[in-house]
Chains A and B, each alone.
Chain A
Amino acid sequence: MLRFLLTRILSAIPTMLIVTMAIFALMRIIPGDPAALMLGDMAQPGQLEELRARMGLDKPLPVQFATWLGNVLTGDFGKSTATGEAVLPLIFERFSVSATVVLVAVLFASLIAVPAGMIAAWRQNRLSDVMIVGTATLFLSIPSFWLGLMLLTIFGLWLGWLPVVGYVSVADNLGDGLLYLIMPVMTLVMVEAGAITRMARASTIEVARLEYITHARAKGLSERAVMWRHAFRNAFAPTWTLIGLILGSLLANIAVTETVFTIPGLGRMLIDGIFARDYPVVQGCMLFIAFLYVAVNLLVDLIYPLLDPRVTA
């Protein structure tokens, strides 16, 4: 078990290293010299060389990469060229916003979708199954930005129940914070619950036809005991991987939803950074998002043996 944990954690390191290289390369491939951009059109001839030297841009690429990696490892993500603020604290601040939305959404989506999928599987081809699968497929097929706009129109404009623009942190004001959370979370829940439902249903059907389920029934267990004690854990294992992937990809792709609901999260920060050509911000956000993705999947892998003891063997 300890060895399993250790190897999984160690194997995340090369992944992260490749990611940093990719991000570094991407930033250098983008046309345009960051130093020239920072100076703008009004620069004096000598200033450019001076700034390039100050930024280390005149050094060979491997040296630049090593310097940057060293800084990143010590927590120095650089300063925003637009505002001059340190990037890392800014990322943390924005991340807490995104994380609130995403974590709540994934939690709700799982709580709804996993039991729904299992019930659908247990009542395969009956009315409840058809309805659950139909609903799941419907939501799965709707693009999240459109769903977000519809929610805004209905609950924000027509009914006027929920605030349309802006964001209040739940930490600052619980009541208002929750009100601002409802629609973005609902959008994500609807879209992601569809995928989770289908996965939970498929893996439950797979498990339900195995002999140990019949064996459990033959012991005299009630249907409910068979389903929750024997089917759930085995059927949940593959679904758990999917939930992890969704969590990771939501954190990475939340930009669209954040734009629709004007939430000041990590995704918005990235997009604003791109438009402002704020290289340290873009670089920092990308690196942080990639790190999140790897970390979430690592966590999923580490929890997996609790669901399926065979993976450590």
Chain B
Amino acid sequence: MNAQPPLLSVRNLTVRPGRTLPPVVRDLSFDIAPGEMLALVGESGSGKTMAARSVLRLLPAPLMPVEGSSIRLKGSELLTLSDHEMCKVRGARIGMVFQEPMVSLNPAMQIGKQMAEALRLHHRLSDAEIRDRSLAMLERIRIKDPAKCLAAWPHEFSGGMRQRIMLASVMLLKPELLIADEPTTALDTLVQRDVLDLMVELTQEQGTGVLLISHDLGMVAKYAPSVVVMQSGIAVEQGRSAKVLTAPAHPYTKSLIDALPRRAEGGSRDTTARPALIEVQGVVIDYPGRERFLRRDPPKRAVHGVDLTIGSGETLALVGASGSGKTTIGRAIVGLVRPSAGAIRYQGHDLLQAGPETARLRARMQIVFQDPYSSLDPRQRIEKVVAEPLLLDKAMTAADRRDRVRAVFEEVGLPWALADRLPHQLSGGQRQRVAIARAIVRNPAFVVADEPVSALDMTVQKQILRLIRALQDKHGFACLFVSHDLGAVEQVADRVAVMENGLIVEMGTRDEIFDTPQHDYTRRLLDAAMLIDRSFGAVMA
């Protein structure tokens, strides 16, 4: 036992809405030593965010910690402080950074004002001094032209920059504890790495303890020495990350670790000899500029001349950061975007030429979108969602359609009992199954899967990836798998193409790309990907 009390000590924390409803956090206890980082890990609904918000006493309305819960900061109880005293703790002694960089800064307030606000509140400083400190901090986090940044609005920055700025404004007050709620979930792999490294740098400089909330085991393994694994509000396992994540004792922790994408045994399938199904040649895609009054902004080139072929039955993964043009290529192949130059062919037939044959072939190509929450019509019952593509086939009767839909439901693992539900009555994983069912209901030869699992929980991701693979094995359709998640790619891809700024910089079989990357950008991507087995090396085997 240390003589010195821990920085944060949470004991028997139970949070429930009102008196009668079941708790969302139950009997949670953990300590954070000064300067240490602890991660709360779990899937959505595990209560990790609510546990963290309890520390700042910022729970949404009916939720509150029940009697007997205790949260101590350096030995002094926070739960019994008056609202006024609590305001003095927030920001000054405990800082918090949030998940969504697009909505966590006030869009109607300049960056400088937002940075100054907390400083002015908690310290007696002159305006000049506040400005100096803000400038120094922006310089510290390597923002170009800090003075200009102070006068800028949040919408002028990218997500990664905003996240850095938020981190800077919170660390400006030198808090003793930083709560980071999924701080990089919404960011690209490379940016994610940057922001996390910066967070670690700043907190170590100032000796700040960190409570990290994350669903990403790879990130936790890399950055947090201790971990608490939560499931339905209960801490099922806690301890040193190196131990919990390599030798999990609880079945839930095991299932989380099992759910991490892993390369299939036996090396990549050799698909190079297969006949080409889709050929993309010299494709250039421009997005028209924004329509202004009596003029138009110049078009923006998203794809600068891309060549690729996809063999029948093969999975080609298209990898890259957001804005690299990977999604645009997928959309162009299925005909949602029209290239300004180049050719796209399906078994030799030019898809850019309009005509009945093109229309017929288009029906052989389908797409599964990223966000199952917005890709299904909220007013359509899911049987109808899946049956809709069949309406194109005039020969089918209503009974035929129903039989076919039923068969597809079974293939994607959706119980028929859900058929007359509306999309909002389903879980994220079920919705993505509906989207997949809609894509395969007419037995397509080619499916574009555009980030199909990035909106889902880890264990669900695993199931969906397995489902796609199983369906592919059974029906033999080819797949363009668009993703920024190298873990998922490693699991499903036969070949991988890496995109940067609208160009394919490297293409090869999965094993070539992952084991012997040639291009510098590919190496940086792989390096930044927090794959758990890389963090703990051989221990994972």
**What chain B residues lie within 8 Å of A309 (beta carbons)?**
107-108, 153, 155
Q: Is A211 an interface residue (CB 8 A)?
A: yes
* A28 CB within 8 Å of chain B: no
Decide yes or no: A218 and B90 within 8 Å by CB, A309-B153, A310-B153, A313-B155 being known contacts.
yes
A233 to B84, CA, bound (A): 25
- The stretch of B96-104, B393-401, B513-521 that contacts the partner chain: B96-104
Counting contact residues on chain A (CB < 8 A from B), the size range is 20 to 34
- The chain B residues found within 8 Å of chain A, CB to CB, are 56, 58, 61, 84, 87-92, 94-96, 98-100, 103-109, 117-118, 121-122, 153, 155-156, 166, 292-294
**Is the contact region of chain A dominated by helix, strand, or loop, or is it mixed?**
helix
- The segment out of A132-140, A185-193, A219-227, A268-276 that lies at the interface is A219-227
Q: In the complex, are the beta carbons of A215 and B104 less than 8 A apart?
A: yes
Determine the distance from Cα of A229 to Cα of B113 in the docked complex, in whole angstroms.
11
Q: Closest CB of chain A to B43's CB: distance in Å? A: 20
Interfacial chain B residues near A124, Cβ < 8 Å? 61
A33 to chain B, nearest CB (A): 40
Interface centre among A211, A230, A237, A308 (most CB of B within 10 A): A211
Q: Given A11-B293, A309-B153 in contact, is the A212-B58 Cβ separation under 8 Å?
A: no
Q: List 17 A-B contacts (CB under 8 A).
A: A211-B103, A212-B104, A212-B106, A214-B58, A216-B117, A220-B89, A220-B90, A221-B87, A221-B91, A221-B121, A229-B109, A229-B117, A230-B106, A230-B109, A233-B109, A234-B108, A313-B156
Q: Does A307 contact B (CB under 8 A)?
A: yes
CB contacts (< 8 Å) of A234 on chain B: these are: 106-108
| B87 A212 Cβ-Cβ under 8 A | no
Q: Which of A210, A214, A220 is within 8 Å of B87, CB to CB?
A: A220
Tell me if B106 and A217 are in contact (CB < 8 A). Answer: no
- Residue in B closest to A310 when the chains form the complex, CB atoms: B155
Contact B105 A221, beta carbon cutoff 8 Å: no
Known contacts A218-B90, A219-B117, A220-B87; 5 additional CB pairs below 8 A are A11-B293, A215-B104, A217-B90, A221-B118, A229-B109
| Alpha-carbon distance between A233 and B108 when the two chains are bound, in angstroms | 7
Tell whether A18 is near chain B: CB-to-CB under 8 Å. Answer: no
Closest to B292 in A: A7
- Residue ID in chain A nearest B94 by CB atoms: A218
Q: Mark A228-243, 1 if CB is under 8 A from B, else 0.
A: 0110011001000000
* With contact pairs A220-B121, A220-B122, A309-B153 given, residues A215 and B105 touching in the complex (Cβ less than 8 Å): yes
Write out the residue numbers on chain A whose beta carbons fall within 8 Å of the beta carbon of B95.
218
Given that A218-B56, A222-B87 are contacting pairs, would A308 and B104 also be in contact in the complex, using a CB cutoff of 8 Å?
A: no
Asked if A308 and B105 make an inter-chain contact with CB atoms under 8 angstroms apart, the answer reads no
Could you say which of A216, A220, A230, A233 contacts B88, with CB atoms under 8 Å apart? A220
Residue of B nearest to A6 (CB): B293
| Chain B proximity mask over A278-313: 1 for CB below 8 Å, otherwise 0 | 000000000000000000000000000001111001
- Residues of chain B within 8 A of A10, CB atoms compared: 293-294
Residues of A within 8 A of B109 (CB): 229-230, 233
Contact of A7 among B105, B155, B293 (CB under 8 A): B293
CA A219 to CA B115, docked complex, whole Å: 10
A236 to chain B, nearest CB (A): 9
Q: Note all chain B residues with C-beta closer than 8 A to A210.
A: 103
Contacts of B294 in A (CB 8 A): 10
Q: Which residue of A lies closest to B86 (CB)?
A: A220
Which residues of chain B have C-beta atoms less than 8 A from A217's C-beta? 56, 58, 90
Could you tell me the distance in whole angstroms from the C-beta of B283 to the nearest C-beta in chain A?
Answer: 30
Q: Are A216 and B106 in contact (CB under 8 A)?
A: yes
Chain A residues in 8 Å Cβ range of B98? 211, 214-215
Contact A215 B108 (CB under 8 A): no
Alpha-carbon gap, A216 to B95, bound state (A): 11
Min C-beta distance of A118 to chain B, whole Å: 15
Interface centre among A11, A218, A237, A307 (most CB of B within 10 A): A218
Q: Which residues of A contact B91 (CB under 8 A)?
A: 218-221
- Encode A1-17 as 1/0 by CB contact (under 8 A) with B: 00000010011000000
A128: min CB distance to chain B, Å? 15
- Contacts A230-B109, A309-B153 known; A221 to B103 CB distance under 8 Å? no
| Nearest residue, chain B, Cβ from A209 | B60
State the Cβ distance, B211 to closest chain A Cβ, in Å: 13
| Cα distance, A309 to B152, chains bound together (Å) | 10
- Closest residue of B by beta carbon distance from A126: B61
Enumerate chain A residues within 8 angstroms of B94, measured Cβ to Cβ. Answer: 218
CB of A212 within 8 A of CB of B121, answer: no
Going nearest first, the 9 A-B pairs with the smallest beta carbon separation are A220-B91, A220-B90, A219-B91, A219-B118, A211-B104, A218-B96, A7-B293, A233-B108, A211-B98
Q: How far is the CB of B178 from chain A (nearest CB, A)?
A: 11
List B contacts of A220 (CB < 8 A). 87-92, 118, 121-122
Q: Taking CB as reference atom, which chain A residue is nearest B293?
A: A7
